[in-house]
Amino acid sequence: MPQARTRTGVRKRKGVQTSSRPAVRSSRGTARAKEATGLKEPEPSGWKACVHHYVQLVNQAEIDRFTPESEGIVTDVDHLSRYQRKLSRLREQELLRGVLPLRSETSAELLRISESESLAEATALIELKIKRTMQQLGRTYTEDRRERERLWLSLDGESYRINRVEPLVMERRPRYSMSDSFASQLSAEQQVEMEDKPTSIPFINYDVLSRFKHGRAGIRYRRDLAAAYADRWWNEGNPAYETFDVNCTNYVSQCLFAGHAPMNYTGKRDSGWWYRERSAGREMWSYSWAVAGALQLFLSGSRQSGLRATVVDSADQLDLGDVIIYDWSGDNRFQHSTIVTAFDAAGMPLVNANTVPSRHRYWDYKDSYAWTERTKYRFFHIADEF
């Protein structure tokens, strides 16, 4: 029988009004432990009780893949329709994959709270932390992901209702807006740079890989190290690097570098693939290091040495440490990057990402509000040797 467990809590953040109330759990095992010690965890009240109930509904939907009866808690018809469409395509996808959800655990942190003086209205920014365990062809695997939503709540009689839900679809927000003219120049310029200049020795972060041997040719891509780095930093930023609000490509570049991909330092933002930290408030890294569209162009370029890749036709041709870049609208503006870190029982890629932290997530991203019917993918098989 599939199991579901939920938890809500409040994280203390500097400059944000929060509560120190402990997390609320609905796990049966936790309840038995509380009874044995004579302790009772306080139930959430007011609008927090409404948020807690909402998290329970989300958690149940992660198992059932149907929109649960909300008892009028959510009155946002547009969001309910959007959510139902997402669940419907996931239900179909998992049936085709032969995947059976076994367990779901969902918790929520209140990141930001705004309340009216009368407490009749409140706005809450929450982060949903979802962990799902699935069974496929007799094997199980676990997927983690983080999603943020902004909830608008209002008092209706004696209880609160959620009258608006806004998912924060960070995968659709590129860090930089690149013009078509820049994009068209970038590919050609990068190819010229790669042909004219030898691969450089990285300037920073030797401590990230203490055993890394910095050579100029014949470097083997350590796919295992790239995947291990991805699993280590999927839900936070490595302090050895800058962490961006939209961090997916910066994270993937770090993973490639952890796998011994050599940087190509040109000193120009619009060429090469390099990172040299921030200096005197100046950003010192290439667009290709931090921007999905630029990384897509860089990996698509033809070169004889350094970091390079082959575009393949489908996800099942990818190996550990390979890269997928996503064009949500099908207009050749790529906005999101992931790295392959595992495979399901059918041999299809599971990926990690960092803007919306994800670990061992199914590669097609149909569980994201960013996905559309026009979504296109670019599959890059990273060279085995640089």
d(CA 345, CA 275): 36
Instruction: Say what the alpha-carbon torsion angle 297, 144, 51, 45 is, to the nearest 10 degrees.
Output: -140
Over residues 1-44, the pLDDT tens digits come to: 566 666 554 444 433 333 333 333 333 333 433 444 445 556 77
Give the mean pLDDT of 164-193. Answer: 58
Q: Is the pLDDT of residue 141 over 60?
A: yes
Give me the mean pLDDT over the 112-132 stretch: 96
Question: How much is the average pLDDT of 256-285?
Answer: 90
d(CA 228, CA 212) in angstroms, rounded, equals: 15
Q: What percent of the chain has pLDDT over 70?
A: 77
**In whole numbers, what is the pLDDT of the chain averaged over residues?**
83
**pLDDT value of position 72:** 87
Mean pLDDT across 236-252:
94
For the record, the structure tokens of 299 come out as 């990996």
pLDDT in tens, 50-69: 999 999 999 999 999 988 77
Give the pLDDT of residue 171.
85
Closest CA to 385 of 224, 226, 225, 219: 219
Could you tell me the CA-to-CA distances from 242 to 109, 277, 290 in Å, in that order?
Answer: 24, 7, 10
- pTM (two decimals): 0.81
The model's confidence at residue 352, banded by pLDDT at 50, 70 and 90, is: very high
pLDDT top residue among 11 and 163: 163
Quick one: angle between helices 180-196 and 292-300, nearest 10? 40
**Percent of the chain scored above 90 by pLDDT?**
69
Report residue 63 CA to chain centroid gap.
20
77 has a pLDDT exceeding 50: yes
> pLDDT at residue 161 above 70?
yes
Give 195 or 231, the one with higher predicted confidence: 231
At residue 208, the pLDDT reads 43
